Amino acid sequence: MMPRKTKPSAEKTVRDIRRATRKHYSFEEKTRIVLEGLRVEDSISELCRREGINANVYYRWSKEFLEAGKKRLAGDTVRETTTDGVKNLRAQASELKETRAELILENRLLKKKRSREWGRQCMRYSGSEKAEIIKLVEQSSLSVQQTLDRLDIRRCTFYNWLGRYDEGGLDSLEDHKPSPRVAWNKVPMTHRAALIDLALEKPDLSPRELAVSYTDDRQYFVSESTVYRLLKVQDLITSPAYILMQASDRFQNPSRRVNEL
């Protein structure tokens, strides 16, 4: 009796299709994906979703990348090579060190920004915070623009702080409240007192009449609104008499049939 052939299961078929259509990443692509994850610009899950890989695959690549870099920096890899190969290895080791230093600095900047809540719109910084930001930019191995981009601070704002700090030190970085300016057309105290005396002498006159009378007698122009504000502050403006009218509950001559009104 011939043995009966079993049909392949659906799961095995799906696995075979996935294995046959699986994308193979080159060394350069793996390195690019690992470096993007180390820059912490996006979360690992978003990066894996965008690249179409599993998170476990990314972490395996990252581990292999760091272990290979550690061996390369420690000199554990023993192999015969030419002078050009040594130069290439040293260049790669130097590049890895610079990348690691940039990532450490970038993470430190991001931690500072999140802990201090820097970079919010219309945010006011204290003098000590401005001095700390200036020191961070000066000590950063990145360029000024790249460091300020990480902190979400405009370049013109930073150079304004830097100029004030160079001129007056830490005290010049504090924000001072704006002092009120004296209005050029403010009525002098002598004319104010004269207007109040005129209003007390002639209580029947309105602010408009008082302004016209004072302008004609003293040859000094004052507007009606100025007189009204001055009298309002001195509590010399009486409130108008209002007549309160209340609606009744029914008509005086109520109708008894349709269209009678």
In a domain, 202, yes or no: yes
213 Cβ contact list (under 8 Å, min separation 6): 198, 202, 205
In a domain, 85, yes or no: no
In a domain, 224, yes or no: yes
Give the pLDDT score at 31: 80
This prediction has a pTM of 0.31
Q: Give the model confidence (pLDDT) of 167-179 as tens digits.
A: 877 777 877 766 6
In a domain, 98, yes or no: yes
State yes or no: pLDDT of 1 exceeds 50. no
- How much is the mean pLDDT over the chain? 76
In a domain, 19, yes or no: no
94 Cβ contact list (under 8 Å, min separation 6): none
Give the pLDDT score at 214: 93
CA dist., res. 236 & res. 257, Å (int): 56
CA dist., res. 83 & res. 85, Å (int): 5
| Domain of residue 212, residue span | 189-233
In a domain, 145, yes or no: yes
Q: Are residues 99 and 164 in the same domain?
A: yes
Number of folded domains that form the chain? 2
Q: Are residues 205 and 167 in the same domain?
A: no
Q: Are residues 199 and 167 in the same domain?
A: no
Q: Give the model confidence (pLDDT) of 69-90 as tens digits.
A: 766 666 654 454 456 666 777 7
Q: Are residues 159 and 103 in the same domain?
A: yes
In a domain, 242, yes or no: no
